[in-house]
Structure 1
Amino acid sequence: MKLTSETLAHLPETILTSPYDRQKVTAGIAHLSVGNFHRAHQAVYTDRALALPGQENWGIVGIGLMDVPSEVQKAEALQAQSGLYTLRECPAGRPDVVRVVKSLVEYIHAPADRAAALKRLTDPAIRIVTMTITEGGYYMDEAGHFMTDHPAIAADLKRDVPESVFGLLTEALRLRREAGVNAFTILSCDNVPSNGEIARRAVLSFARLKDDELADWISRNVAFPSCMVDRITPAVGPADIERLNRESGIEDRAPLFCEDFIQWVVEDKFPEGRPAWENVGVLFTDNVEPYEQVKLRMLNASHSMLALPAVLMGYRFVSEAMEDENLFRLLQQFLGFDSEPQLNAPPGMSLPEYGALLLQRFRNKAVSDQLLRIASDSTSKLPVFVRPTAETVVQDNGDMRRIAFLLACYCTYLGGFDDKGTEFPVTEPRLSKEDRALAGSSDPAKALDMSVFAGWGLTDNPEFVRLFVEMRISLQDRRTAETLVDVISPR
């Protein structure tokens, strides 16, 4: 059975759908960059909310941003299916649940029709713009300043119809201001500390390059709430599509799967209104930061701590790597000795229990994520997820072995070969030629001069430098598994 609006009423009884009339739903939210995570997370919460009375004006219009073949294929698939798709939720040790998510009621691929995307954002019905543009998509340098001289930004400033996220948002807000239409709320859903403030800084910086008065209007009228998001959602390849469709019995061109765990903590600043997300599991708070810090510095940092050495050891999936007792102990030690002691738990949360739950989630074979996906763009991820913990450990002269090991693994990973000699793709779009040269220098310590480590204070500690060099040499001579044994051994 093909998945279309016409077949929606004839799905097998085993497929779940939220009980609302989709024909009555109109879009009140625009989402920029509709990746798998958005479709497994924010779109799911909104799908739940649309089943509540009086929520029919909160459907989602998705706006794809990237002009690459995979995004073109996704746009064609979602447009052909009227935004419908199947989501398989995979708990550990229990049967999977398959549902059709109906909240994405429209899809626009901006590179194919940028004017249409812009027009949709100026529609008064759109009162919230959410976005998942990745950690590196905010054009922030290591000091937290918007990179006004970045080629993508410089080019966008000259265009009549912008192409970047911040150009698109700024132009849409300019047109709304001219038409006397209220501003929309901008909600970043990326794994970035204080993501609301970062989004605000980026939008205002771009706007000020265009028009000071417009920037002032945006500053007064646009809300930028912060939020924390969490759900493990692997990438989906052709084999996954075939498997998911075979298991569901539905011919879906854009299926996906994820774990059953889901969490969303949001700062409640929505002057133009919002869905009743609080009635479907979203936690609203005046202070997202404690939740955000726990998630970034425990879950995301642990993902990096696992993925980089595991890839070098020849593993390709998270659950597979988690069966390696030494990698498991590495994560236990990192969480218990490095991350947790530095964090203040949000009300009602036990950090040791949260850490134990993370390890349990990582071991879920049904949603075993791809290690290469997690390791990709580590140049952007490490400063966000690992730097705060690393800075404190190094400044306090704590046990620096785990941090030195991780950063040494990152440098080795950039070479693109694991310990078995197997080549793997290295996806580091924000790594410069200069940084690649430093990582490949005959002097192992030179890698600490890479821009990814700028401001960490690593070279100020001679003992850390010694450990880092020792780890790099050991990774080269003794390989990752043997080096790891030394890292997790008692001092």
Structure 2
Amino acid sequence: MTAYTLKQDHLDTISEHISIPKYQRRQLKTGIVHIGIGDFHRGHQAYYTDQLLHDTSITDWGICGVALLPSDIKIYKALKKQDGLYTLIVKEFDGALTKRVIGSITEVLFAPENPSKVIKKMASSAVKIITLTITERGYNYNEVTKAFDDQNPDIRHDIANPLMPKTVFGYLTQALKLRKEKGAKGVTIQSCDNIQRNGHMAKNMLLSYVRLAEPSLVSWIETHVSFPNSMVDRITPTTTASDVAILKATTGIKDACPVVCEPFKQWVIEDDFVNGRPLWDAVAARFVEDIVPYEKMKLSLLNAGHTVLGILGALLGYKTIDEAVHDEDLCTFLEQYMDHEVSPTLSDLKGVDLEHYKASLLQRFGNVSIKDQIDRVCSESTSKIPIYVLPTISANLESEGQIECAALLIAAFAIYSLGKDENGKSLNIKDTMETTLRKKAAQAANGQPEVFLEIEPVFGLLKSSPSFVSAYTRAYNTLRTSRIKACIKTYTNNRINC
């Protein structure tokens, strides 16, 4: 089979072997600018938009993808070379691969290379929505103070150099300022990150920056910009060299940046758009008035479940999430955490079959075709734990509910942060706070387990809760004197309701 580089001019040729965009990509107008063109955006929002373009005759919702950080240069170059095209590989539960070329990204920009071009693109009157997948840490939020971190060096740089920004807030502020000066219509800024009330977070953090950098712009933003909340859900593991090779062997496509994902997908969106929106609900997205119950369920069950399997699975020596969830003891522990600690905090769900949702998560985690790397799941845990796990702990402390499983998870994270699994093999800790983690973990291992809870950006005020400190210390000491499996069995067999 002849191999072809994935490009617009080669689509007709490769259409014999794979589904391609049937719409006229060159006729699309850029109605959406997306910041953060990583795997998740391309497996989720760009997929939904591609499906909509397939099913309708609209031409207003092409996507301009912005690579924001210097480290994004590789994905930028790959997509630029491929005219924004990439292959989506859906790994079905039965092992089959469903492949299609996605064409909704029609333009890509590299922000560090040309900041003014990115600012002008976001300020274009044709652009009606700016979407974000900048990860939890990208919102520059302090878990303890609940405030914007105005001492971040990159934030200070952006205030001093407004036309050469480094952060998303610097870019958005200058783009909105330009829209105001041109008399352009407002724009919707839509967060698609795993943060509860992500729209509110985006608004609060942006306005905090604007008050420092361009205070006269605040009232215009409050009047002309909306920030809908949304809940996004699709597992997109890191694409491997094997995935690329199989794609080439089965379709003849040479794709430098294919995306792998599970078959499940969900997108629930607050219907609050100031300047029009795509009919994503025509392709299975759901628009609602109140997003909170859905995002709370997803963050505290799916994302927290990933964290449980990731941290404990890493200590057990597992490499992928499916390996971890197929460990019967670890799976039982996760089920009890979800049933007895998380579920009691989700009483406000209406019209949702919670038991079915939890069962579906175990099936999704166990998809042996996905091979979601535990390294990926555990990366930047210091920005994930405050969002995925801490709210459940806080709710249970307030209601005098059960916290034992969560305490064991945090204790396991302290031991994980020492950098070795229980067999002495090195763990690849990928975290912005790695230095702090290792320092506090070493102190904890030296007879002071509670010191680890002093990392306030991660654990907030947990160290001031005697009941949590007691449960955590008990779990830590058990983990330090027992094998991980034996410890988990102790917790589940003793039915501490965790």
Same fold (TM over 0.5): yes
- Which interval holds the TM-score relative to the shorter structure? over 0.9
Tell me whether 1:58 sits opposite 2:61 in the alignment: yes
Q: 1:93 to 1:171 in 2, by over 3 A?
A: same
Change (3 A) 1:166 1:260: same
Q: 1: distance between equivalents of 2:397 and 2:91? A: 39
1:485 to 467, 471, 489: 489
Deviates most, 314-323 or 176-185: 176-185
Distance 1:454 1:252, change over 3 A: closer
Q: 1:361 aligns with which of 348, 360, 364?
A: 364
Whether the 8 Å CA contact 1:340–1:352 is kept in 2: the answer is no
**Offset of residue 345 of structure 1:** 5.5
CA distance in 2, matches of 1:270, 1:237: 37
**Is residue 2:471 matched to residue 1:467?**
yes
- Residue 64 of structure 1, CA deviation: 0.1
State the alpha-carbon separation in 1 of the partners of residues 332 and 237 from structure 2.
Answer: 24
Q: Is the 8 A contact 1:313 1:480 kept in 2?
A: yes
Is 1:88 equivalent to 2:89 in the alignment?
Answer: yes
**Runs of 4+ with >4 A deviation:** none
Quote the Cα distance in structure 1 between the aligned partners of 2:295 and 2:93: 25
Ranges in structure 1 where 5+ consecutive residues have no aligned partner:
none
> 5 Å matches for 1:302-381?
302-344=305-347, 346-381=349-384
Shift of 1:477: 2.8
Correspondence 1:87-486 to 2 at 5 A: 87-93=88-94, 95-142=96-143, 143-159=145-161, 160-344=163-347, 346-430=349-433, 433=436, 436-441=438-443, 442=446, 443-457=448-462, 459-462=464-467, 464-486=468-490
Comparing 27-36 with 204-213, greater Cα deviation is found at 204-213
Shift of 1:334: 1.1
Tell me the distance in 1 between the aligned counterparts of 2:85 and 2:175: 27
* AA at the equivalent of 1:440: A
C-alpha change, 1:82 and 1:419, in structure 2 (3 Å) is same
Matches of 1:247 and 1:486, distance apart in 2: 48
Bigger Cα displacement from structure 2, 276-285 vs 110-119 = 110-119
How far 1:453 sits from its partner (Å)?
Answer: 4.8
* Equivalent residues of 2:315, 2:484 under 8 A apart: yes
User: Shift of residue 369 of structure 1?
Assistant: 0.7
- The DSSP-based 3-state class of the residue aligned with 1:470 is helix
Q: Is the 8 A contact 2:14 2:252 kept in 1?
A: no
TM score, norm. by length of structure 1: 0.95
CA distance in 2, matches of 1:140, 1:91: 37
Paired residue secondary structure (2:428)? coil
RMSD: 1.7
Equivalents in 2 of 1:252, 1:11: separation in Å?
12
For residues 232-282 of structure 1, what are the alpha-carbon distances to aligned partners after superposition, in whole Å with 9 as ceiling and x for unaligned? 000123343223333433111111110011100001111111111111111
Deviations 1:323-348 (A, max 9, x none): 11011101111111111121036442
Does structure 2 conserve the Cα–Cα contact (< 8 Å) formed by 1:14 and 1:98?
A: no
Q: Does 1:49 align with 2:52?
A: yes
Give the Cα separation in 1 of the matches to 2:411 and 2:250: 42
- Aligned partner letter, 1:176: R
**Identity value in percent:** 36
Amino acid at match of 1:135: E
Would you say the 8 A contact 2:238–2:373 is kept in 1? yes
Secondary structure of residue in 1 paired with 2:387: helix
Q: CA deviation at 1:458?
A: 5.0
Q: Which amino acid aligns with 1:483?
A: C
Any conservation in 1 of the 2:11–2:20 contact (CA below 8 Å)? Answer: no
Shift of 1:53: 3.6
Amino acid at match of 2:22: P
Distance (whole Å) between structure 2 residues aligned to residue 268 and residue 400 of structure 1: 36
Counterpart residue type for residue 193 of structure 2: D
**How far is the alpha carbon of 1:454 from its aligned partner?**
4.3
SS at match of 1:191: coil
In structure 1, the partner of 2:9 is 6
Task: State the distance in 2 between where 1:308 and 1:216 align.
Answer: 44
